[in-house]
Structure formats: C-alpha cells, structure tokens
Amino acid sequence: MNMVAFESSRAATIKSSPSMAVSLAAKAMRAEGEHVVDLSLGEPDFDTPVHVVEAAADAMKRGITRYTAPDGLPELREAIVAKFRRENDLDYAMDEISIGNGAKQILFNAFLGTLEPGDEVIVPAPYWVSYTDIVILHGGTPKIVACGVEDAFKITPERLEAAITPRSRWFLFNSPSNPTGAIYTADELKAIGEVLARHPHVAIMSDEIYEHIVCADIPFTSFANACPELRDRTLIINGVSKAYAMTGWRLGYAAGPKDLTKVLNKMQSQSTTCPSSITQVAAAAALNGPQDFVAKAVAEYKARGELVTQGFSAIPGLEVRAPEGAFYLFPKCAAYIGKTAPDGRKIENDTALASYLLTEGKIATVPGAAFGVEPYIRLSFATSRENLAMAIERTADALAKLR
C-alpha cells in the first residue's frame, strides 16, 4: 500500500476545473457510443487561421526553436504594443508587457508574484471558474460579490465600495464576461474607477480576453481607456486563444506598469521560462496579420447567440438575458430546482440539473455553482448551429419531463 500522501495542504485547497470535468464526462459518454451535444467548453470551433499556422511552420524552419527571454521575443512584444496602440489607443512600452502560456498563466504569475497570505481579491460572481481557485492557491482570499441576472450580471459601484477592506489587494473582473456574456459600458467602468480611485491600495486586473467577441451594439471598452488615471495600478490581461481560435497554442499577454510586469516576468522565468518560441511567432502573426478571420468568426457567434437566445428563452421556466459578447448563454433555472426526474432523482440544485441534462438529454452544460452563483446553467455556443438547434430541442424535452 502506498503510504505517501502526495497532495499538499495547499493543493488540497482547490479543485480541478469543473468545465473541463464536464467536457471529459461528455467525451467518456461519446466513447460509449452516446451522441452528446457538448456545450461545456469555451473553445472556438474554428481552425486557427492558415497564415498563423504557416508563420509557425516557417518559424520552425528558420530555427526559432530555442528558449526566449521570459518576456518573449521582441517581435511578439512589438506586436502586442502595436495591438494596444491600434485597437485600444493605449500606449505601453516594451517593458510594460508580459507574456505567459495562456492568459491563465498570466493570472498565476500575477497572483503568485503579488499576494500575501490573506490578501483579498474582489471578484464579481458569476466569475470565470478558475479565478477563485487561482487566488486561493496563491494564499489569497476571494471576496465574492454576487451579481445575478437581476443585476444584469454586473457589479455596481456601491457593491464594490462595500466589498473593499484594508486587506483588498486586487479587483479582478472580466468583460465581455465568461460565463454571462455581459459587457461593461464605458460609463459603468468609469463609475467603478471612481470608487477604486478612492482606495489607492487596490490594484485592478481587467481580463479582456473576449474583447473582440462582441455581439450587441455595445462597443468594447478597455478598463485602461475608461480609467486612464488608474493606469499605474491596472493590469490588462488578454490573449490569442479566443479571438484567433488558438486555445491549444497557449499564449496570453498582459500590459501594466513596469514594476508589476517585472514581477510577472520573474515568475515566468522560474516556471515555464517562456511560452513556446513557435507559438510566440504564431501569435505575432495573428496580431499583426489580416483580421478578417475575427470579423467572420464574430458574425457567426452573433448569429448563434441570437439562435440560442431565442431558443432557450422559449423554454418555459428559463430566465435568459441575451449575451452582449463572448459565446455563452447563462440562463437562470430556478423554476426547475426542487423538481423530480422520471427516474425519481431529485433536482436539488443546478449541479443536479446539469447532471440530469447530461444523462437524460445528452447535453453537456456547466452548472452555475462552478461560477459562484446558483441556480444557473452555462451553455457555450462556440459550436455549430445544427448542434445548438439540437441542444435547444433536447433541453426543452428533458426539462419538460421534470415534475
């Protein structure tokens, strides 16, 4: 018998990614021959643009196959600086940029490098599943502020003010939002900025990874644009995964004051050293190259967003807010909690509902509990319209069987 307890108390404080877990369960059902519509993963279903793939192949042929500096190849940092200037009208210097193996690693580097035990990180819920676990892993305490569909899924200045304590270290938020699709307007960001201006000990982490995926008429505004006066304590996080269908390439980036990016780069240097040199060249090609791929993908997400909004709104008992961006629908499902399935199972919460939808309806969704609010389910519409039409039909049928 193995007597070694491998898991540290630190590792035991967190769980594996719940959306990944649902997706693995769906894959296992598929392997058993079941036809499952998987709406669990937030991953574009398009291929990476060809010119990006070719840039990577070319990089390999040119011998760009060695370690790079932790903050990346100059050509990538230049591309990132140019992106901020071109798309966001923001001026960052080369040493105000940091890169990582995905935006996820940027979050790791930032919290590893800045949190003292017990520091609080204010996170509006629903939040992206990984935020709170990454904070906890690095000794921080997530301070969660619930913002349900009644609040248009957004934190108000008053609630933010009430959540700030002397231990607050960061305010971390995401717009357009995973899992709700909500976008903060420039005025809303300014109002949040006014609160933060009164609390100079709180830094701001703005996760803008869905920047380009905007379905409504609300223009995307970077927090750094809305609140330039907070620039010296704002970290803007972004990446190529969602905009350019590059989830497997692993490249995220951040911009912020150089005292902060220096810390992130130090963490990077002692973890993975640098993202793959080949990926870095590919990411530079994505940022510098033609942007028509993004526009085409967004047009398709928009059409899908309309399809699911209509389809799921028509299902009795689901409360749907049309997403303004990203590729998620986050219907509230309170009407179904407490009901009983045909096999006698009680639907006690949204986790039980998602599990019922998977086994009975063969639709993989992620319960609201994973995102810090209940009872909701998250549906990713980064999949074909045929799949979405099937998911709507199956959900309606499965829910209609609950008594």
Closest-approach residue to ligand PLP (CB): 102
Shortest distance (Å) from residue 159 CB to ligand PLP: 20
Query: 118's torsion region: left (phi>0), alpha (psi -120 to 50) or beta?
Result: left
> Which of 142, 148, 252, 323 is close enough to bind ligand PLP by CB under 6 A?
252
Return the H-helix or E-strand segment holding 377. Answer: strand 377-380
Number of residues that bind ligand PLP (CB under 6 A): 13
> Which of 77, 83, 104, 394 is close enough to bind ligand PLP by CB under 6 A?
104
CB 316 within 8 A of CB 322: no
Nearer to ligand PLP, 379 or 402 (CB): 379
Quick check: 380 binds ligand PLP (CB under 6 A)?
A: no
Query: DSSP label at 55?
Result: H
Quick check: 209 binds ligand PLP (CB under 6 A)?
A: yes
Tokens of 206: 């703005």
- Distance from C-alpha of 246 to C-alpha of 234, rounded to nearest angstrom: 26
Nearer to ligand PLP, 102 or 331 (CB): 102
CB 234 within 8 A of CB 256: yes
Shortest distance (Å) from residue 120 CB to ligand PLP: 20
Contact pattern for ligand PLP over residues 216 through 245, marking x by CB under 6 A: -----------------------x-x----
Query: DSSP label at 361?
Result: T
> Which of 207, 211, 300, 360 is close enough to bind ligand PLP by CB under 6 A?
207
HEC per residue, 173-231: EECCCCCCCCCCCHHHHHHHHHHHHCCCCCEEEEECCCCCCECCCCCCCCHHHHCHHHH
Shortest distance (Å) from residue 115 CB to ligand PLP: 18
CB 128 within 8 A of CB 179: yes
- Distance from C-alpha of 331 to C-alpha of 224, rounded to nearest angstrom: 30
Shortest distance (Å) from residue 101 CB to ligand PLP: 7
From 101-109, 295-303, 311-319, 332-340, span contacting ligand PLP (CB under 6 A): 101-109
From 52-60, 97-105, 335-343, 381-389, span contacting ligand PLP (CB under 6 A): 97-105
Beta strands 252-255 and 234-239 are antiparallel
Tokens of 250: 């692993």
Q: At what angle do helices 350-359 and 18-31 cross, to 10 degrees?
A: 20
Nearer to ligand PLP, 165 or 273 (CB): 273
Nearer to ligand PLP, 127 or 356 (CB): 127
Shortest distance (Å) from residue 86 CB to ligand PLP: 20
Tokens of 379: 């549906």
Quick check: 174 binds ligand PLP (CB under 6 A)?
A: yes
Shortest distance (Å) from residue 176 CB to ligand PLP: 9
Query: DSSP label at 97?
Result: E
Quick check: 332 binds ligand PLP (CB under 6 A)?
A: no
> Which of 52, 103, 144, 255 is close enough to bind ligand PLP by CB under 6 A?
103
The radius of gyration computed from the CA coordinates of the chain, to the nearest angstrom, equals 21
> Which of 48, 68, 98, 178 is close enough to bind ligand PLP by CB under 6 A?
178
Quick check: 42 binds ligand PLP (CB under 6 A)?
A: yes
User: How many Cα atoms are found within 13 Å in the side-chain-facing hemisphere of 284?
Assistant: 19
The residue ranges that bind ligand PLP (CB under 6 A) are 42, 102-104, 128, 174, 178, 207, 209, 239, 241, 247, 252
